[in-house]
Amino acid sequence: LTREQVDLLVKGGVVVTVDAHDTILEHADLAVRGNTIVAIGDSLPYVAGDAIDARGKVVLPGLVDVHMHETLLRGVCEDLPLMEWLQQICFPKDRSFQAHHSRAAALMSQLEMIKAGITTFVDIFRYPDECAEVAEQSGLRAVLSPQIIETPPGAGETLESACRFVEAWRDRVPRRIHAWFGPHAPYSCSPELYREVVDLAERYGVGIHTHLSETQDEVEQIRSRYGMSPVAYLDSLGALGPQTLAAHCVAISDQDIEILKRRDVAVAHNPTSNAKTASGICPASKLVEAGVRVGLATDSNLSNNRLDMFAEMKMAALLQKLARSDATALPSRQALRLATIDGARCLGLGHEIGSLEAGKKADIILVDFDQPHLWPLVLGEGGNVIAHLVYAACAADVDTTIVDGRVLMRNRQVCTLDERAAQETVSAAAADLLRRADEERRRSWKRS
């Protein structure tokens, strides 16, 4: 009997598939050929070019972070409400941002994500070519949506630079690096810009990623300018549809939820970031109950300050329970789905990633359960694997990260990027950006 050859076998782990039935296989192998999972089951009869021992580990679909900014300055501007934070701190810094800062930010963010088991991320920020080049090397699956900001000028990308990026990247790394449009928000972009983006996105067949109804401030601003809620306003521009990914949706009414559902908009829920800026709590369970696609997100090292989807799962579950005074709200099983398959569906990638099933892309992570904070492991009916993943595990427990069948991290050693070299690049670039942002602040102070 000759055994069939595969490229990679992940052997003997507890496999949490996140399939339609939330199937957990207590001892199973995954066989990968090229970038695809070809089989999952006990003692698979394959010979593999490479094998990973998954005993003592939980095997999960890679985590999907549906909204983040690859920013550079973690922890230096803290404890402010969102609008003040944006206007006084972020926009002056963003104006000083240069391509090399973006490259450093991408190196830091992508290293952090590989080490946190995030295999797909949606970035909305500056100099997307730099981020895409880093993603080409890091091996992560990426949706990059250059952040277009009209007001204040100079703080973001322009429609022209975004078009150049989409042209250059939409087919360059097929199915792994996606190029979308990213108009920042209804208060920083004009109605004309949104209309143009809608036309262009349709012409190129790509998605639209925007911030929407993040705070009550925004609702009041948009109401006084256009006489509608931000959701109704974007709808009136034709900007809401199945290709639209709306980040936050914190300050929304039942009518807004009705519009989001009718237009089949996907929502990126950022529980930690929203809590930190005291923006409020997105009615995530209500959206899920209404049939709106909802994914989970970290929002950036600037506003979070960690890219840890385990923390987001826990925060999402806790906030829904608190907001609804109901401990049964957003149970762990659902939190895990938000961080995996539901996030994939938000990006129109639900058929390719987000669960471990034969025929899907091999985006796989291993979580090391052989640690006291993840003891005891109880399998079978009434088991605790999913509860551990949502309430007890953290990013640092991820041991191995695989995207498209390629091992990006093994035993916590990143294989595709040089961590030590990146640290030097990041320190130098951050110091340079702080100095430039300081000069920019002094200049604008003189101007005013």
Minimum Å distance from CB 323 to Zn ion? 21
Minimum Å distance from CB 254 to Zn ion? 24
Q: CB-wise, 218 or 299, nearer to Zn ion?
A: 299
Minimum Å distance from CB 13 to Zn ion? 34
Minimum Å distance from CB 268 to Zn ion? 8
- Selection from 80, 189, 104 nearest residue 145 by Cα: 189
Q: Is 91:156 a contact under the CB 8 Å cutoff? A: no
Residue type, 386: I
Q: Is 63:340 a contact under the CB 8 Å cutoff? A: yes
Nearest to Zn ion by Cβ — which residue? 299
CB count in 10 Å sphere of residue 87: 13
CB count in 10 Å sphere of residue 160: 9
Enumerate residues 177-236 that contact Zn ion by CB under 5 A.
none
Residues in contact with Zn ion, counted by CB under 5 A, come to a total of: 1
Q: Is 8:48 a contact under the CB 8 Å cutoff? A: yes
Helices (H), 139-270: 159-169, 191-204, 216-226, 230-236, 254-262
Pairing of strands 46-53, 413-414: unpaired
Q: CB-wise, 299 or 312, nearer to Zn ion?
A: 299
Q: CB-wise, 65 or 299, nearer to Zn ion?
A: 299
Selected range binding Zn ion among 55-63, 188-196, 294-302, 314-322, rule: CB under 5 A: 294-302
- Residue located via tokens 């090399």: 100
Q: CB-wise, 188 or 229, nearer to Zn ion?
A: 188
Minimum Å distance from CB 236 to Zn ion? 23
- Residue located via tokens 């796989």: 364
Minimum Å distance from CB 174 to Zn ion? 27
Q: CB-wise, 156 or 354, nearer to Zn ion?
A: 156
Q: CB-wise, 299 or 308, nearer to Zn ion?
A: 299
One symbol per residue from 245 to 284: x for binding Zn ion (CB under 5 A), - otherwise; what is it?
----------------------------------------
The residues, ordered by sequence, that sit 6+ positions from 384 with a Cβ below 8 Å of its Cβ are 376, 377, 378
Which positions touch Zn ion (CB under 5 A)? 299
